[in-house]
Chain A
Amino acid sequence: MTAFYHIVEGLLIVGGSLFIALAALGLVRLPDLYTRMHSASKAGSVGASLLLLGLAINSESLPETLRAIAAIVFFLLTAPISAHLLAKASYTVGYNLWPGSVLDEMSRSKPTPGASVAESRSQQEFYTGKALEPAWRREKRIAPPKWSDLRKK
């Protein structure tokens, strides 16, 4: 039975420290604030939680186990909130995504002032899903009725 506990604790320690080390590596290597946040906040909190779970299994007395589990619950509750708040604040203030980003779904709520009219229109078509359908289908498709036309009839 001791061997079983030792193996489980060893696996938890190795897994948790690998998660934390990969989170730190991503924090250094990734190009952007948001991708770094994707690395650090998820993998870092999972790694710390795995190590605390190993501590909860390791300790013999019940209050220490409960304390470690309370620490896990508290940490998993607060880490996404702080990461979300930091990302929202830095996006609202205007820190950019890196140029290789494929899609910025929130940019329709923030029209870029320097963009020309055609560019903003193509952006709008892209975000409403019209840019991806081919031209022949767009011409064949029946336009949705307008209230003014219905009222004329």
Chain B
Amino acid sequence: MIEEYAKLFYEYAVDFGLVLLGLSFLLTTVRIIIGPTLPDRVLGLDMLTSVSIGFIALIGINTGFTLYVDIAIALGLVGFLATTAFSRFILARGQSGDEDSLESLPFRDPQGKSSHGTRGEWGR
């Protein structure tokens, strides 16, 4: 009796997890596309690596095909090295002037001073 309910819960959990992981792939890709600056895109790439590792683990649970765990380890290594190399690149490149995104933010300064368009206290 309880075995059947546990198996049913397990199958629904696998389906739920697959749906949520697909959704998070989509959201991360949206951030990579619209990300206003380069570090946002690098962060999206890092997040994409971790979502892929989770996806590989979930496929391994679902199908019992655990060969891909080695690939998950290698993917983690490659993602770490890619983020490190991109950070060094950001550090070496400097900030390009046209991608400061503060002017396009839909928020207001909570102190009441409007910081839209003025590069005063917050600008560099």
Q: Interface residues, chain A, CB within 8 Å of chain B?
A: 2-4, 6-7, 9-11, 13-14, 16-18, 20-21, 23-25, 27-28, 31, 33, 36-37, 40-41, 44-45, 47-48, 51-52, 54-55, 58-59, 64, 67-68, 70-71, 74-75, 78-79, 81-83, 85-86, 88-90, 92-100, 112, 114-115, 119
Q: For the side of the interface on B, what is the size category?
A: 35 or more
Interfacial residues of chain B within 14-47, with CB under 8 A of chain A in the complex: 14, 16-18, 20-21, 23-25, 27-28, 30-31, 37, 39-40, 42-44, 46-47
Inter-chain contact B90/A27, CB cutoff 8 Å? no
A98→B69 CA distance, assembly (Å):
39
In the bound complex, do residue B72 and residue A27 qualify as a contact, i.e. CB atoms below 8 Å apart? Answer: no
Decide if B10 touches A9 in the complex (CB within 8 Å): yes
Among A2, A9, A17, A59, the residue within 8 A (CB) of B16 is: A17
On whether the beta carbons of B31 and A28 are closer than 8 Å, the reply is yes
- Number of A-B residue pairs at CB separation under 8 A: 238
Beyond A48-B53, A67-B66, 15 extra complex contacts between A and B, CB < 8 Å:
A2-B3, A3-B2, A6-B3, A7-B10, A11-B13, A17-B16, A17-B20, A20-B54, A27-B28, A37-B43, A81-B84, A90-B37, A93-B90, A94-B95, A96-B124
Of the candidates B72, B90, B124, which one forms a contact with A90 in the assembled complex, judged by CB atoms under 8 Å apart? B90
A-B contact pairs, 23 of them (CB 8 A): A6-B9, A11-B13, A13-B13, A14-B13, A16-B54, A16-B58, A23-B24, A25-B27, A27-B31, A31-B105, A40-B43, A40-B44, A48-B54, A52-B57, A58-B61, A67-B69, A67-B70, A71-B72, A82-B87, A95-B37, A96-B102, A99-B107, A114-B119
Decide if A13 touches B14 in the complex (CB within 8 Å): yes
Structural contact, A74 and B76, CB atoms closer than 8 A: yes
Q: Separation in Å of the A95 CB from the closest CB of chain B?
A: 6
* A14: min CB distance to chain B, Å: 5
Do residues B27 and A78 form an inter-chain contact, with CB atoms below 8 A?
A: no
B83 near A98: Cβ-Cβ < 8 Å = no
Q: B70, A20: Cβ atoms under 8 Å?
A: no
Q: Hey, what's the 0/1 contact readout for B80-124 against A, CB within 8 Å counting as 1?
A: 100110111011011100001010010111100001000111111
Chain A contacts for B39, CB-based, 8 A: 33, 86, 89-90, 95
Q: A6-B7, A31-B105, A89-B88 are in contact. Are A55 and B57 (CB under 8 A)?
A: yes
Q: How far is the CA of A36 from the CA of B30 in the complex (A)?
A: 13
Q: How far is the CA of A134 from the CA of B87 in the complex (A)?
A: 43
- In angstroms, Cα B80 to Cα A78, docked, is 6
